[in-house]
Amino acid sequence: MTRLAKILAPAGLILAATAALPAQAQVQGNIATVDISRTVIGTTAFQTAYEQVNTTYAPQNDLRRTKAQERQTMLAKFDKNGDKQVDDTEQAAMQKSPDFAKLQTIEQEIQALSNQIESARVFAVEQILGQYPAALQEVTTKDKIQLVLDPGSLLFAPPEADITNKVIASLNLKVPAVGVVPPAGWQPSRDGVQVYQEIAQRLQLAAQIQAQQAAQAQQQANPAAPVGR
């Protein structure tokens, strides 16, 4: 299936399902859209929590960077052709090296540190999601909305149909702050992980766009400067 087909498919299913309903079951009333991941990102609790994670887990972040540098130094020993990568031949040699067990241990330590930080972020997201149904219900009741759709499933929707900002405002009142230290034995839910992954992708894309814009602005301010190697 092509990318365009994947985009069109959900909307087609929605339209087909609506058309299949009997006349008396057709939706009567306002239809709205809401973007869950953008809603969570827009809350004060989320933004504060991400700053708190950076502070609370600063030791883990620092240690992870140190371990990553140690790992890179060890891998460089096996990069015989100097291409900054470990190819299949170099990988085979590395696995026979006495340092291989140490390298595996370092990679496990890096993963464990990353898991601590990521778990704290998922924990924060799940606390906000816990109040999401109530916030959505509040907005839909107030605005007499009968049907709410994911904007990613639609070919077109007018801007006024988007109630994301209204749900954000409701969430800010219902969950002004969240914790970033999961209790012992806590395990993330599948829904929480999925929303967190969508959020992480959005933030990464936003950072890339911001970096590109900054580079373009710098290039325009100093046209004589080299763009890169």
19 domain residue, yes or no: no
**What confidence score (pLDDT) does residue 22 get?**
44
68 domain residue, yes or no: yes
**What confidence score (pLDDT) does residue 3 get?**
33
Q: Are 189 and 130 in contact (CB under 8 A)?
A: no
97 domain residue, yes or no: yes
225 domain residue, yes or no: no
CA dist 200 and 152 (Å) reads: 17
Which residues in the chain belong to E strands, given as ranges?
A: 30-33, 145-149
Q: How confident is the model at residue 224 (pLDDT cuts 50, 70, 90)?
A: low
- Average confidence (pLDDT) over 103-119: 95
Q: How confident is the model at residue 115 (pLDDT cuts 50, 70, 90)?
A: very high
56 domain residue, yes or no: yes
Q: Are 72 and 135 in contact (CB under 8 A)?
A: no
Tokens of 224: 């004589």
| pLDDT tens per residue across span 198-215 | 999 999 999 999 999 988
In angstroms, what CA-CA distances link 107 with 110, 113, 160, 162?
A: 5, 10, 49, 44
Measured at the CA of 181, the angle between CA 200 and CA 67, to 5 degrees, comes to 65
22 domain residue, yes or no: no
Owner of token pair 């799940």: 126
Where in the sequence is the domain holding 91, given as residue range(s)? Answer: 28-218
117: nearest Cα among 58, 48, 200: 58
- In terms of phi and psi (left: phi > 0; alpha: psi -120 to 50; beta: otherwise), the region of 14 is alpha
CA dist 16 and 11 (Å) reads: 9
132 domain residue, yes or no: yes
Residue 71: pLDDT over 80: yes
| pLDDT tens per residue across span 2-45 | 332 332 333 333 333 333 444 444 444 589 999 999 999 999 99
Give CA 98 to chain center in angstroms: 38
Q: Please give the model's pTM, rounded to 2 decimal places.
A: 0.77
- Average confidence (pLDDT) over 107-134: 96
For residue 84, count other CB atoms closer than 10 A to its CB.
Answer: 9
Split into its structural domains, the chain has a count of: 1
6 domain residue, yes or no: no
- Average confidence (pLDDT) over 97-106: 88
Residue 197: pLDDT over 50: yes
**What confidence score (pLDDT) does residue 218 get?**
85
